[in-house]
Structure 1
Amino acid sequence: MLEKLQRRLGLRTDSVIFFTSAALTVVFVVTAITLTEQVDRTFAAASDWLLTNLGWFYILGVTSFVIFLLWTAVGRYGHVRLGGQDERPEYTTRAWFAMLFAAGIGTILMFWGVAEPISHFAVPPQQGVEPQTVEAARMAMAYSLYHFGLHTWSIFCLPALTFAYFVYVRGLPFRVSSVLQPLLGDRINGTAGRIVDITAVMGTLFGVAVSIGLGTLQINSGLARLFGLPENSLVQVLLITVITAIATTSVVFGLDKGIRRLSNINIIMAIGLMVFVFLTGATLFLAKGVIESVGIYLSQLVSLAFWNDTFANTGWQGSWTVFYWAWTITWSPFVGIFIARISKGRTIREFVIGVLGLPTAFTIVWFSIFGLSAIDLELDGESELVRTVVVEGDVPGALFTFLESYPLTTAVSVLSVLIVVIFFTTSSDSASLVVDMLCAGQRGEGGPTRQRVFWAITEGVVAGTLIAATGKSGLDALAEVITVFGLPFFVLAFLMMYALRRALRTDFPELAGPPPALRKRAEQEKEQERDRAGNGGTDRGPREQGTGRLSRLRDRRTGGTGKR
């Protein structure tokens, strides 16, 4: 029946994955609207339990991803190319970086670039640190960079690398289930594989819906300050409609003409905004601060990577770090598949260093300029950011309150709104492309443009319906759903590490043994053994002649007789 419906609609997908995902999305939205309180209580309880009892697992998981990726990149498999050995990258490094950054956390940096450092500066997470002091400022930068540096990008990089390997090296379709081939074998094309893919589709839709919702709140806050536009659900739904329309248009134009052009334009505008804040603010202070932030990040990275708030048990980590990791990993299949899609032809080492290194470096500069500028304004008493963000809880308005301390406030605020709109547009556009791939099953990389348009509209409808029906609390409820959804994705990520390592050892057995130096030494010793056997044992090799350290020691102890 599903196949017949698919043919009538002119679709080209795996009908089970497509229609099941669409139906579950509708059911969830309708249930969230009609039974808001019950859904909220259920997922709030589950989320609280996970944050309390399994927060340590989330912390350990992401740190494990970082270690595994760096170990794989610098190890013997680093030269393996994602594609044929003669394959070369399709996109330049600049275009590649712009697309992966715009589809990754560009939106989050705009949202949290000012708000998070100010939050931790005003309310330090760790005991013994006085609020709004120099030490509080240092730790605020450490936490912010920890949240958006290597660890966040490892959540994207791990699935991206795994997808790229199984698609470009083993020739499997762009499906999350493809990465489990070493474990499931041909069952990835059966029920088990479809369950994995449907879960990935749902996580992607809800993760992007949360991002669109948060972005809409920030855009609404900016427009309220610029033009007095009211901050309510009606305006927010209209904004989501506009963003969805732009994303749908970009989908129609395709990857090269749509996402790539928007990403390049947006990254230029974002850099322009950052340079403006740097030049018109405390330039010398920021120049020194960027360098110092690198040291702060590196010095605190190891301790924060394993910190579990064990002794104080304040609950802060659950509401910040663990939530970030759970939220991020739910849409890691979307970002991962998108990054894999644009990364064919790169070596594993180039891929990992690029996906982890370039965005992390940019994140350090971004937070150093915006975060340190915000903290500097507060220390000088020239801003009311602490009151806005912490006292009033107006996190979406943090960036625009911050810009009020700079020249050309109106023009720069308009530019910021435009940047946020395009960042969310590219995220929605990229998600539509990826969800279509996930629903393609064994058919390849998706079908007609109308399928991607359908998913672009669906993302907007999910976010818009929740805002219209339940307001901001609906997004909070969805965020709790995301936290619960994050657990199976963490388990999946551990399976990805095992599957990738197993596939590399199977596909490149010549690299699976000991390092080349040890292999050469072992071969020399075997050759010497063969020579001795051929000479009847009369010729003594270097070991018998005492040239080795142990042989010389033995000769000294025995007087060269071989007897004690």
Structure 2
Amino acid sequence: MNQPKNSLSSVSKDLPERTDKGSEASMTTDSLSTVAASDGPTVYQPKKGGRAPSGGSQAYSRTFMREISEYPHGIHPALVPGVSIEDQKVRYGLDKGIIAVVGVFVVGFIVWGVAAPHQVYDVTTAALNWVMTNLGWVFSVVAIGMVLFLLFLAFTKYGKIPLGLDGDAPEFSTGSWAAMLFGAGIGIGIIFFGPLEPLTHYVSPLPGMYEPASVAAVKGAMVQSALHWGINAWAIYAIVGLAVAYVSYRRGRVPLMSSILTSLWGGDSNSLGARIIDGLAIVATLFGTAASLGIGALQIGRGFQLVTGWSTEANTIALITIIVLTIGTIISAVSGVSKGIRLLSNINMALAICLAAFIFLVGPTVFLANIIPGVITEYFAELPRMLSATTADSPEIREFLSSWTIFYWAWWVSWAPFVGVFVAKISKGRTIRQFVFGVLLIPSTIIILAFTILGGTAIWLQREYGELIPGNDPLQIPPAQDVFFLVLDYLPGHQFVAPVVMVMLAVFFITSADSASLVNSQLSQKGNPNPNRLITAFWAIAMAGIAVVMLLMGGQDALQGLQNLITITALPFSVVIIFMAIALYRELHTDPMVIRYSFAKAAVSNAIVHGIEEHGDNFEIAVAPVEPDSDRAAGADFDSTAEEVTEWYTRTDEDGNVVEYDYEAGEYVEDEDQVDGRAQTESDERGGSL
């Protein structure tokens, strides 16, 4: 049997002989005491009469050699370095069931929405009211619970687990990784809601938080916006990204939402339950991204009116914008010009930074510089109070939460599959602790700064001139798509900045639609990293169609249309996210690094107690084999041959047949029949090509 160098059977050859005093500790491998000491003190309850059974290392080694064959590929589950999806043998293909069912549902919805938009509006409004009254708490559980769960992982032993193989270095430097996380958080929403939301909260706050249009409302409005776009939002993205990264780069499974949950019910991603999960992820992403496309088209249309002076109904221009930009998205998806789009996206991100800097420098600079630290401080101070508001408190609070807080939680849930997969791809090689702190803090900080600059400028202008919202009357708030350009009008050079903003919005539209369509295409093609471009184009068209329906059903209040659809369609996937967290924890509990940690704690605890009992102050810790039922055995309570800790790293071929893998060489072991079969296939292919 070919034994890898990390196998416990090879380690046992170098173990010292037992002494008659039995002073050696029952540790498993290389100096595990450092692992046990790294995460706090060890609590040990000593056993009575603790002496190892007789028999010596030779008898135990024979028993061990009989059991080692029960491990896949002859390696103990504590020593598996991890399995990456990149090294797996996977046969990808179209998931015709998902494409057919979800495709028919979406096309049917679009036809219904175009034919009877007011009927769709009435039905979805009634559904929204029911969801908010009865199930709004589900979104709050996700938004609050995921923050607590992620922090628990980061601060405990699980934080050291890498999102990759043992020893893998991060693919990107910390600076590049931070920049890409920043890019993931920049989009249409910041430009659309950046000045609008704080200005709205300034005159119409969460009931009971502060007096409208007061001094307290200045910071309070920006803090409320920070709640919606900050740490809680990114915790929803992070839990999906962490789960995808872990199961793909540590457990070797395809990056599907269902791959994360198979540990709960068994089976694989071909089961009916798994396909339902992936279908829900596609639906949530379609409607969530379509909402961004809809508001982006509205704002581009309004900017076009202001720049050109063309007086046409805003929704008409928005519909034309959706059609034109969707054509651009399809060209991108079909032609494979992703590198060009990515370059354009990076340029767009630089323009967004320049836009924020421009507003900061030519706007109320001193006011913004003074208020930014206060907003960040008050954000953390008021976080518990803002999160404690519930739909059961009062009708007024329920209305606010429905329009803002819970709507946002639903929106982030719908974006979670898309953003989560992206964040997972760029985070390979990071530890869970690095991932959690990076994803929660880096983009949140940048977005809070952006909202403080844009929203702070809008509030300052309102307090100085009182023209943006006449009389601070919430009923006089301008149309949402107008607010950014109204604020821009007060700044010098606005006539040059407005066209640039329109271009930025157009690029954000295409890149968001292209990326979300790509993720949906992967989910509907069994995780294929290079999905069929026509399927990708289909999902892009579907998103555009949903965006059109949102505008038609909302009429003049387009935000109400997208609010209805996002909240309803995101609800099922919010439940999926809760189960994702449960499934992830179960898998982390049996991670090789966690198993080694458990062995280390037990071994060191046993060794120290027995060393003091038998030798007093002066003893050393050594490594020696003991009988499995010894009270000195580090793994006495651990079954290293159980399926739950060994089945996951069994390697298979494209058809699911078990194949041998050599962990020492890092390659598959092929028998002669496989080699001859491949040679024959290649020969036949050459012959057929002649």
Report the TM-score, using the length of structure 1 for normalisation.
0.85
Percent identity, aligned pairs only, is 35
Per-residue deviation at 1:297? 0.9
The residue that corresponds to 1:235 in the other structure is 317
The residue that corresponds to 2:227 in the other structure is: 146
Which residue of structure 1 lines up, in the alignment, with residue 501 of structure 2?
416
Partners of 2:161 and 2:234 in 1: CA distance: 21
Distance in 2, matches of 1:76 and 1:417, equals 48
**Which residue number in structure 2 is paired with residue 547 of structure 1?**
none
* 1:87 to 2:168 alignment: yes
Which residue of 2 is the match for residue 302 of structure 1? 384
The answer to whether the aligner puts 1:33 opposite 2:114 as a matched pair is yes
Q: For 1:118-517, what aligned pairs fall within 5 Å after superposition?
A: 118-127=199-208, 129-229=210-310, 230-252=312-334, 254=336, 257-308=339-390, 310-314=392-396, 315=398, 316-381=400-465, 383-385=467-469, 390-441=475-526, 444-464=528-548, 467=551, 471=555, 476-508=560-592, 510=594
1:10-57 superposed Cα distances (whole Å, 9 cap, x missing partner): x94211112222121111111223343443333222211221233233
1:17–1:137 CA distance, 2 compared to 1 (3 A): same
C-alpha displacement of 1:282: 1.8
Mapped partners of 2:155, 2:478: distance in 1: 44
Higher helix share: 1
Alpha-carbon distance between aligned partners in 1 of 2:520 and 2:331, rounded to the nearest angstrom:
17
Aligned-partner Cα distance in 2 for 1:69–1:118: 32
Q: 1:543 corresponds to which residue?
A: none
* SS at structure 2 position matched to 1:454: helix
Distance 1:188 1:529 in 2: 53
Shift of 1:472: 5.1
1:84–1:260 Cα change, 3 Å: farther
Asked if 1 retains the 8 angstrom alpha-carbon contact of 2:124 and 2:564, the reply is yes
For 2:165 and 2:295, the matched residues in 1 are separated by 41
Say which is worse superposed, 304-313 or 485-494, in terms of deviation.
304-313
Q: CA 1:372 to 1:408, structure 2 compared with 1: closer, same or farther past 3 Å?
A: same
Contact 2:332–2:338 (Cα < 8 Å) also in 1: no
- Aligned 8 A contact 1:403 1:409 in 2: yes
**Alpha carbons 1:233, 1:467 under 8 Å: kept:** yes
How far apart in 2 are the matches of 1:465 and 1:67?
A: 37
Q: CA deviation at 1:126?
A: 2.4
Cα RMSD, aligned residues only: 2.7
Q: Distance in 2 between matches of 1:469 and 1:118?
A: 26
- Highest Rg: 1 or 2? 2
Separation of aligned partners in 2, 1:261 and 1:466: 30
> 1:102-135, CA deviations, whole angstroms, 9 ceiling, x for partnerless residues?
4445221111110011101111222373221111
SS in 2 for 1:173: coil
1:47 and 2:128 aligned:
yes
CA distance in 1, matches of 2:525, 2:405: 34
Structure 2 gap ranges (5+): 1-91, 617-690
Q: CA deviation at 1:186?
A: 1.1
Query: Which residue identity is paired with 1:106?
Result: G
Partners of 2:114 and 2:552 within 8 A in 1: no
Check 1:251–1:96 CA distance in 2 against 1; reply closer, same or farther (3 A cut): farther
Question: 1:242, 1:106 → 2: CA distance?
Answer: 19
Is 1:440–1:446's contact at 8 Å kept on the other side of the alignment? no
CA offset digits 1:150-198 (Å, max 9, x no partner): 0111111110111111111111112111110211221432111111111
CA distance in 2, matches of 1:299, 1:427: 34
Q: CA deviation at 1:256?
A: 6.0
Q: Deviations over 1:65-118 (max 9, x none)?
A: 111112212321222222223333334545544544444452211111100111
Taking structure 2 as the reference length, the TM-score comes to: 0.70
Deviations 1:378-429 (A, max 9, x none): 1112642467985144111111000011001111111222222222222111
CA shift, 1:476, in A, is: 3.4
Distance 1:368 1:210 in 2: 23
**Post-superposition shift, 1:514?**
6.5
What secondary structure sits across from 2:157 in the alignment?
coil
Corresponding pairs, count: 521
Report what 1:536 is aligned to.
Answer: none
Q: Which moved more, 1:116-125 or 1:512-521?
A: 512-521
- Counterpart CA distance in 2 for 1:320 and 1:474 is 15
- CA offsets 1:348-380 (integer angstroms, 9 cap, x no match): 222222211111110121112111111111111
CA distance in 1, matches of 2:599, 2:440: 26
Amino acid at match of 2:99: F
Provide the rounded CA distance (Å) in 2 between the counterparts of 1:133 and 1:516. Answer: 59
Report if aligned partners of 1:201, 1:438 keep a CA contact under 8 Å in 2: yes
Q: Secondary structure at the match of 1:407?
A: coil
